[in-house]
Amino acid sequence: MKILCIIPARGGSKGILMKNIRNFGEKPLITHTIEVAKKCNFFDKIVVSTDNKNIQKISESYGAQVPILRPKKLSTDTSNIYDVVKHMLNFMDKHESFVPDIVIILQPTSPFRTVKMIKKSINMLKNSQGSSVVSVAKVKEHPDISFSKKGLYLKPIEKNFEKFSNRQKRSLLFHPTGSIYTFWTKNIYDNKSIYGKKIIPLIVNEKEFNLDIDEPYDFFIGEMQLKNWKEYKKFF
Protein backbone atom coordinates (compact mmCIF):
# COMPACT_ATOMS: atom_id res chain seq x y z
CA MET A 1 0.00 0.00 0.00
CA LYS A 2 1.55 3.28 -1.15
CA ILE A 3 1.43 6.31 1.16
CA LEU A 4 2.16 9.89 0.13
CA CYS A 5 2.92 12.68 2.60
CA ILE A 6 2.06 16.18 1.38
CA ILE A 7 3.28 19.25 3.28
CA PRO A 8 1.41 22.33 1.97
CA ALA A 9 3.40 25.55 2.37
CA ARG A 10 2.49 28.59 0.32
CA GLY A 11 4.66 31.68 0.36
CA GLY A 12 1.96 34.23 1.11
CA SER A 13 1.09 34.72 4.77
CA LYS A 14 -0.63 37.78 6.17
CA GLY A 15 -0.30 36.97 9.86
CA ILE A 16 3.46 36.34 9.78
CA LEU A 17 5.51 37.19 6.70
CA MET A 18 7.01 34.03 5.11
CA LYS A 19 5.90 32.10 8.18
CA ASN A 20 6.77 28.65 6.85
CA ILE A 21 10.49 29.40 6.56
CA ARG A 22 10.84 31.81 9.44
CA ASN A 23 13.21 30.43 12.07
CA PHE A 24 11.33 28.53 14.76
CA GLY A 25 13.87 27.74 17.40
CA GLU A 26 17.09 27.32 15.45
CA LYS A 27 15.69 26.26 12.07
CA PRO A 28 12.90 27.15 9.64
CA LEU A 29 9.39 26.27 10.80
CA ILE A 30 8.71 23.87 7.92
CA THR A 31 11.75 21.76 8.71
CA HIS A 32 10.19 20.51 11.97
CA THR A 33 7.43 18.87 9.91
CA ILE A 34 9.81 17.55 7.26
CA GLU A 35 12.01 15.97 9.92
CA VAL A 36 9.17 14.14 11.70
CA ALA A 37 7.89 12.93 8.30
CA LYS A 38 11.36 11.56 7.47
CA LYS A 39 11.40 9.63 10.77
CA CYS A 40 8.31 7.75 9.58
CA ASN A 41 9.43 4.64 7.73
CA PHE A 42 6.08 4.13 6.04
CA PHE A 43 5.99 7.03 3.55
CA ASP A 44 6.83 6.22 -0.06
CA LYS A 45 7.27 9.90 -0.85
CA ILE A 46 7.42 13.16 1.13
CA VAL A 47 6.57 16.19 -1.00
CA VAL A 48 6.11 19.89 -0.33
CA SER A 49 3.44 21.77 -2.26
CA THR A 50 4.53 25.39 -2.55
CA ASP A 51 4.46 28.35 -4.91
CA ASN A 52 7.67 29.84 -3.49
CA LYS A 53 11.22 29.09 -4.65
CA ASN A 54 12.77 29.92 -1.27
CA ILE A 55 10.48 27.40 0.42
CA GLN A 56 11.35 24.93 -2.34
CA LYS A 57 15.08 25.38 -1.77
CA ILE A 58 14.89 24.97 2.02
CA SER A 59 12.51 22.00 1.77
CA GLU A 60 14.78 20.18 -0.66
CA SER A 61 17.84 20.88 1.48
CA TYR A 62 16.12 19.05 4.36
CA GLY A 63 15.24 16.04 2.24
CA ALA A 64 11.71 16.68 0.94
CA GLN A 65 10.78 16.66 -2.73
CA VAL A 66 9.18 19.58 -4.56
CA PRO A 67 8.12 17.94 -7.83
CA ILE A 68 6.37 21.04 -9.15
CA LEU A 69 5.72 24.60 -8.02
CA ARG A 70 2.09 25.25 -7.18
CA PRO A 71 0.32 27.78 -9.46
CA LYS A 72 -0.58 31.13 -7.92
CA LYS A 73 -4.30 30.49 -8.35
CA LEU A 74 -3.94 27.64 -5.83
CA SER A 75 -1.89 29.76 -3.41
CA THR A 76 -4.33 32.42 -2.26
CA ASP A 77 -6.02 32.91 1.13
CA THR A 78 -9.15 31.25 -0.24
CA SER A 79 -7.49 28.29 -1.98
CA ASN A 80 -9.04 24.90 -1.21
CA ILE A 81 -6.81 22.13 0.12
CA TYR A 82 -8.71 19.68 -2.11
CA ASP A 83 -7.48 21.54 -5.22
CA VAL A 84 -3.92 21.64 -3.85
CA VAL A 85 -3.88 17.88 -3.26
CA LYS A 86 -5.47 17.11 -6.62
CA HIS A 87 -2.87 19.27 -8.38
CA MET A 88 -0.04 17.28 -6.78
CA LEU A 89 -1.67 13.90 -7.38
CA ASN A 90 -2.33 14.65 -11.04
CA PHE A 91 1.27 15.74 -11.60
CA MET A 92 2.77 12.71 -9.89
CA ASP A 93 0.48 10.35 -11.76
CA LYS A 94 1.36 11.88 -15.12
CA HIS A 95 5.08 12.50 -14.65
CA GLU A 96 6.17 9.88 -12.10
CA SER A 97 3.55 7.16 -12.60
CA PHE A 98 2.95 7.29 -8.86
CA VAL A 99 -0.56 6.86 -7.51
CA PRO A 100 -0.77 6.48 -3.71
CA ASP A 101 -3.48 4.57 -1.88
CA ILE A 102 -3.34 6.91 1.12
CA VAL A 103 -2.46 10.59 1.41
CA ILE A 104 -1.43 12.33 4.62
CA ILE A 105 -1.38 16.11 4.93
CA LEU A 106 0.99 17.50 7.57
CA GLN A 107 0.70 21.26 7.89
CA PRO A 108 3.98 23.00 8.77
CA THR A 109 2.11 25.40 11.07
CA SER A 110 1.59 22.47 13.49
CA PRO A 111 5.21 21.67 14.42
CA PHE A 112 4.43 19.54 17.49
CA ARG A 113 3.34 16.10 16.35
CA THR A 114 4.93 12.68 16.75
CA VAL A 115 5.61 9.66 14.57
CA LYS A 116 3.33 7.71 16.91
CA MET A 117 0.41 10.06 16.18
CA ILE A 118 0.96 9.83 12.42
CA LYS A 119 1.23 6.05 12.50
CA LYS A 120 -1.91 5.80 14.62
CA SER A 121 -3.88 7.81 12.07
CA ILE A 122 -2.85 5.39 9.32
CA ASN A 123 -3.79 2.33 11.36
CA MET A 124 -7.13 3.87 12.27
CA LEU A 125 -7.89 4.42 8.59
CA LYS A 126 -6.75 0.97 7.48
CA ASN A 127 -8.60 -0.88 10.23
CA SER A 128 -11.96 0.82 9.78
CA GLN A 129 -14.66 1.61 7.26
CA GLY A 130 -13.75 5.29 7.48
CA SER A 131 -12.93 7.58 4.59
CA SER A 132 -10.51 9.79 6.54
CA VAL A 133 -8.89 10.40 9.91
CA VAL A 134 -8.53 13.94 11.24
CA SER A 135 -6.66 15.08 14.36
CA VAL A 136 -9.07 16.96 16.61
CA ALA A 137 -9.27 18.48 20.08
CA LYS A 138 -12.22 19.29 22.31
CA VAL A 139 -13.73 22.72 21.70
CA LYS A 140 -12.98 25.10 24.56
CA GLU A 141 -14.79 28.23 23.37
CA HIS A 142 -18.15 26.51 23.00
CA PRO A 143 -20.80 27.95 20.64
CA ASP A 144 -23.55 27.32 23.20
CA ILE A 145 -22.17 30.20 25.29
CA SER A 146 -21.02 32.41 22.43
CA PHE A 147 -22.41 35.72 21.18
CA SER A 148 -22.74 37.51 17.86
CA LYS A 149 -22.69 41.31 17.68
CA LYS A 150 -25.78 43.17 16.51
CA GLY A 151 -25.10 46.90 16.33
CA LEU A 152 -23.95 48.00 19.78
CA TYR A 153 -25.03 44.84 21.56
CA LEU A 154 -24.19 41.18 21.94
CA LYS A 155 -26.76 38.58 20.93
CA PRO A 156 -26.52 34.99 22.27
CA ILE A 157 -26.07 32.33 19.60
CA GLU A 158 -28.13 29.98 21.76
CA LYS A 159 -31.37 31.47 23.19
CA ASN A 160 -31.11 29.45 26.41
CA PHE A 161 -27.39 30.14 26.74
CA GLU A 162 -27.51 30.67 30.51
CA LYS A 163 -28.29 27.03 31.16
CA PHE A 164 -25.05 26.11 29.37
CA SER A 165 -22.90 28.02 31.85
CA ASN A 166 -22.49 24.61 33.48
CA ARG A 167 -19.90 22.87 31.31
CA GLN A 168 -21.47 19.45 31.87
CA LYS A 169 -24.62 20.58 30.03
CA ARG A 170 -22.80 21.46 26.83
CA SER A 171 -22.63 19.08 23.89
CA LEU A 172 -19.23 17.52 23.22
CA LEU A 173 -17.72 19.22 20.18
CA PHE A 174 -14.36 18.93 18.46
CA HIS A 175 -12.30 21.15 16.16
CA PRO A 176 -9.52 20.09 13.78
CA THR A 177 -6.06 20.83 15.16
CA GLY A 178 -4.55 21.19 11.69
CA SER A 179 -1.84 18.68 12.50
CA ILE A 180 -2.83 15.47 10.66
CA TYR A 181 -5.26 14.69 7.84
CA THR A 182 -5.11 11.07 6.64
CA PHE A 183 -7.39 9.88 3.85
CA TRP A 184 -7.88 7.48 0.97
CA THR A 185 -6.76 8.94 -2.35
CA LYS A 186 -10.05 7.85 -3.93
CA ASN A 187 -11.80 10.58 -1.88
CA ILE A 188 -10.27 13.17 -4.18
CA TYR A 189 -11.78 11.64 -7.30
CA ASP A 190 -14.94 10.01 -5.94
CA ASN A 191 -16.07 12.63 -3.41
CA LYS A 192 -14.13 15.74 -4.48
CA SER A 193 -13.03 16.09 -0.87
CA ILE A 194 -10.16 15.04 1.36
CA TYR A 195 -12.65 13.97 4.03
CA GLY A 196 -15.21 11.71 2.40
CA LYS A 197 -18.38 10.76 4.25
CA LYS A 198 -17.00 8.83 7.22
CA ILE A 199 -14.56 11.00 9.17
CA ILE A 200 -12.82 9.30 12.08
CA PRO A 201 -11.48 11.49 14.91
CA LEU A 202 -7.93 11.16 16.12
CA ILE A 203 -8.60 12.84 19.47
CA VAL A 204 -5.53 14.60 20.86
CA ASN A 205 -6.07 15.74 24.44
CA GLU A 206 -2.53 16.99 25.09
CA LYS A 207 -2.42 20.72 24.36
CA GLU A 208 1.29 20.54 23.61
CA PHE A 209 0.51 18.75 20.32
CA ASN A 210 -2.34 21.02 19.25
CA LEU A 211 -0.64 24.36 18.62
CA ASP A 212 -1.52 25.87 15.23
CA ILE A 213 0.73 28.81 14.42
CA ASP A 214 -1.25 31.59 12.77
CA GLU A 215 -0.21 34.81 14.50
CA PRO A 216 2.96 36.21 16.12
CA TYR A 217 1.63 35.29 19.58
CA ASP A 218 1.28 31.66 18.49
CA PHE A 219 4.86 31.78 17.30
CA PHE A 220 5.96 33.10 20.69
CA ILE A 221 4.04 30.38 22.57
CA GLY A 222 5.50 27.73 20.27
CA GLU A 223 9.07 28.86 20.79
CA MET A 224 8.60 28.95 24.56
CA GLN A 225 7.21 25.42 24.42
CA LEU A 226 10.09 24.28 22.24
CA LYS A 227 12.65 25.69 24.67
CA ASN A 228 11.07 25.03 28.05
CA TRP A 229 8.13 22.62 28.10
CA LYS A 230 10.07 19.35 28.27
CA GLU A 231 11.75 20.40 31.54
CA TYR A 232 8.88 22.48 32.90
CA LYS A 233 6.27 19.71 32.72
CA LYS A 234 8.39 17.56 35.06
CA PHE A 235 7.11 19.71 37.94
CA PHE A 236 3.50 18.57 37.37
Asked if residue 149 belongs to a domain, the reply is no
**Can you give the CATH number for the domain in which 207 is found?**
3.90.550.10
pLDDT score of 162 more than 90: no
Q: Which domain holds residue 94?
A: 3-138+173-235
Distance, CA of 160 to CA of 171 (rounded, Å): 14
- Contact between 204 and 182 under an 8 Å Cβ cutoff? The reply is no
pLDDT score of 205 more than 90: yes
Q: What is the pTM of this model?
A: 0.93
Q: Kindly report the average pLDDT of the chain as a whole number.
A: 94
Structurally, the chain folds into a number of domains equal to 1
User: What's the pLDDT score for residue 209?
Assistant: 96
Look at residue 152 and give its three-state secondary structure. coil
User: What's the pLDDT score for residue 226?
Assistant: 95
pLDDT score of 120 more than 90: yes
Residue-wise DSSP of 102-138: EEEE--TT-----HHHHHHHHHHHHTSS-SEEEEEEE
pLDDT average, residue stretch 135-163: 89
Q: At what angle do helices 29-39 and 115-126 cross, to 10 degrees?
A: 60
Residue 216's pLDDT band (cuts 50, 70, 90): very high
Asked if residue 93 belongs to a domain, the reply is yes
Region class of 90: left (phi > 0), else alpha (psi between -120 and 50), else beta: alpha
pLDDT score of 168 more than 80: no
Asked if residue 108 belongs to a domain, the reply is yes
Asked if residue 187 belongs to a domain, the reply is yes
Asked if residue 31 belongs to a domain, the reply is yes
Asked if residue 168 belongs to a domain, the reply is no
Asked if residue 218 belongs to a domain, the reply is yes
Asked if residue 163 belongs to a domain, the reply is no
